[in-house]
């Protein structure tokens, strides 16, 4: 509540006419406003819903909650409110009340199979920082140890019309996913699209990274991970791109300094229509795949520049390097691996190119300084 302090209004009308009294009280108005705001802040900080950062920190101290640097005031309020209204005993009704407080009344689904087993299946759409961690805390605190929890969180993005899309993760210093990263954009219409993770300093995924892009219409598509300093995936890296229509397409992973996949690296590209295509991995300094590196490209009726790698400093694959190109139509093609300084495959290096009605073809591996394959090439 904001109050307009006016001390002159408390004077009798005949004294308000004197400049001496008026000037004195008007000079004191700001000081009384400070006192009023301080009293107002004390009142607001008595309630969780209206407390500021200082007030919330007092509640957190009482509840022994330690916020992270990424927490916002809204997420801290929500966490305090959930734990403040803690009631025993823990029943299914109490659990549902706690979940409604966290997720909203119509923002989650909860099912069970208690007639045949001991599993709770929980589907949410949580977007605020800290909500997923608080959900985990609710499960650990309230559920018996013999209950199996299958919890999945999705963030749907439904859009229609003409859009300029700049990535699932955009301008992030560090992006960490402990399990699967799944990105499934379906695009129809006029779009300018620039990738799943864009201009990100560090992207780390401990398990699978899977991207599936279905695009129809006029598109400007610039890849899955774009302008990322470092991308690390401990297991599989899988990318599937289906493009139909007039496209300007610049690769699955683009302008990335380092890509590390400890297991398989798989890239599948299916393109139909008029295209400007610049490779699966483009302008990347270092690509490391400890197991297989596989790319499959099927193209029809396009203008094509480079397959797997374009302007890449170093590619290292400890096992097999496999590439399969199927091209049909009018082409300008400059190789599966192009402008790469150093390519190392400790086992087999295999490349298959099938071209019909080609134009301006510059080979499977082109403009490459060093290619080392300890097995078959």
Q: Name which of 37-51, 90-104, 199-213 the model is least confident about.
A: 199-213
Rounded to whole angstroms, how far apart are CA atoms 68 and 70?
Answer: 5
Domain shared by 239 and 354, yes or no: yes
Reported as a pLDDT band with limits 50, 70 and 90, residue 249 is low
Supply the pLDDT for residue 6: 84
Q: Are 110 and 119 in contact (CB under 8 A)?
A: no
Supply the pLDDT for residue 275: 67
**Per-residue pLDDT tens over the stretch 128-175:** 777 888 888 888 888 888 889 898 888 776 666 665 655 566 666 676
Domain membership of residue 236 (yes or no) is yes
Domain shared by 178 and 29, yes or no: no
Domain membership of residue 52 (yes or no) is no
Supply the pLDDT for residue 57: 93
Domain count, the chain: 3
21's tokens? 């009294």
Boundary residue ending a domain (139, 156, 173): 156
Domain membership of residue 110 (yes or no) is yes
Domain that holds residue 38: 7-44
Domain membership of residue 68 (yes or no) is no
The maximal CA–CA distance of the chain, rounded, in angstroms, is: 105
Domain shared by 152 and 242, yes or no: no
DSSP-H helix ranges across 174-271: none
Supply the pLDDT for residue 98: 85
Domain shared by 145 and 171, yes or no: no
HSE-CB for 244 with a 13 A CA cutoff: 6
Domain membership of residue 72 (yes or no) is no
Residue 355 has pLDDT above 80, yes or no: no
Q: Are 318 and 346 in contact (CB under 8 A)?
A: yes
Q: What's the residue count for the chain?
A: 377
Q: Which of the given ranges, 106-115, 163-172, 210-219, has the highest pLDDT on average?
A: 106-115
Instruction: Using the CB atoms, write b or e for 342-372: b if 16+ within 10 Å.
Output: ebbbbbbbbbebeeeeeeebeebbbebeebe
Q: What is the arithmetic mean of pLDDT over 63-90?
A: 84
Domain shared by 276 and 128, yes or no: no
Residue 37 has pLDDT above 80, yes or no: yes
Rounded to whole angstroms, how far apart are CA atoms 311 and 294?
Answer: 18
Domain shared by 100 and 205, yes or no: no
Reported as a pLDDT band with limits 50, 70 and 90, residue 42 is very high
Residue 119 has pLDDT above 80, yes or no: yes
156's tokens? 């749907």
Domain shared by 122 and 263, yes or no: no
Domain shared by 14 and 37, yes or no: yes
Domain membership of residue 361 (yes or no) is yes
Domain shared by 96 and 172, yes or no: no
Supply the pLDDT for residue 167: 59
- CATH assignment of the domain containing 94: 3.30.1340
Domain membership of residue 1 (yes or no) is no
Reported as a pLDDT band with limits 50, 70 and 90, residue 195 is low
Boundary residue ending a domain (156, 179, 205): 156
**pTM across the whole model:** 0.51
Supply the pLDDT for residue 55: 93
Domain shared by 284 and 222, yes or no: yes
Helix (H) or strand (E) holding 352, with range, is: strand 349-356
Residue 59 has pLDDT above 90, yes or no: yes
Boundary residue ending a domain (115, 140, 156): 156
Domain shared by 325 and 244, yes or no: yes
Domain membership of residue 62 (yes or no) is no
3 state DSSP class of 262: coil
Domain shared by 151 and 246, yes or no: no
DSSP 120-167: EEEEE---STTHHHHHHHHHHHHS-TT-EEEEEE-------SSEEE--
Q: Are 295 and 270 in contact (CB under 8 A)?
A: no
Cβ neighbours, 10 Å, residue 161: 6
Helix (H) or strand (E) holding 74, with range, is: helix 73-84
Q: Which of the given ranges, 120-124, 132-136, 213-217, has the highest pLDDT on average?
A: 120-124
Q: Which of the given ranges, 74-88, 217-231, 308-322, has the highest pLDDT on average?
A: 74-88
Helix (H) or strand (E) holding 23, with range, is: helix 19-44
């Amino acid at each position: 509540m904001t109050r307009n302090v006016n001390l002159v209004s408390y004077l009798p009308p005949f004294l308000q006419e004197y400049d001496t009294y008026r000037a004195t009280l008007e000079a004191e108005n700001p000081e009384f406003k400070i006192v009023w705001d301080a009293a107002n802040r004390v009142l607001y900080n008595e309630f969780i819903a209206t407390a500021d950062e200082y007030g919330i920190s007092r509640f957190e101290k009482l509840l022994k909650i330690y916020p992270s640097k990424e927490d916002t005031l809204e997420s801290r309020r929500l966490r305090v409110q959930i734990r403040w209204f803690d009631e025993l005993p823990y029943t299914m009704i109490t659990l549902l009340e706690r979940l409604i407080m966290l997720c909203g009344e119509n923002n989650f689904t909860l099912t069970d199979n208690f007639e045949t087993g001991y599993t709770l299946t929980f589907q949410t759409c949580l977007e605020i920082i800290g909500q997923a961690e608080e959900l985990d805390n609710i499960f650990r605190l309230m559920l018996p140890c013999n209950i199996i929890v299958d919890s999945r969180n999705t963030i749907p993005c439904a859009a229609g019309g003409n859009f300029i899309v700049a990535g699932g993760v955009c301008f992030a210093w560090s992006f960490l996913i402990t399990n699967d990263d799944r990105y499934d954009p379906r695009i129809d219409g006029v779009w300018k699209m620039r990738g799943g993770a864009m201009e990100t300093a560090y992207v780390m995924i401990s398990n699978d990274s899977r991207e599936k892009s279905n695009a129809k219409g006029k598109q400007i598509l610039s890849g899955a991970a774009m302008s990322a300093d470092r991308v690390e995936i401990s297991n599989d890296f899988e990318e599937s791109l289906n493009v139909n229509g007039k496209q300007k397409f610049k690769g699955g992973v683009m302008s990335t300094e380092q890509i590390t996949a400890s297991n398989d690296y798989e890239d599948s590209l299916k393109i139909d229509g008029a295209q400007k295509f610049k490779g699966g991995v483009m302008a990347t300094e270092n690509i490391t795949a400890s197991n297989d590196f596989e790319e499959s490209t099927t193209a029809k009726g396009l203008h094509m520049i480079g397959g797997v790698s374009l302007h890449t400093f170093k590619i290292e694959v400890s096992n097999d390097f496999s590439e399969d190109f199927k091209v049909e139509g009018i082409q300008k093609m400059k190789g599966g691996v192009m402008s790469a300084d150093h390519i190392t495959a400790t086992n087999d290096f295999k490349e298959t190119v099938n071209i019909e009605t080609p134009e301006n073809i510059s080979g499977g591996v082109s403009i490459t300084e060093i290619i080392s394959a300890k097995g078959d090439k």
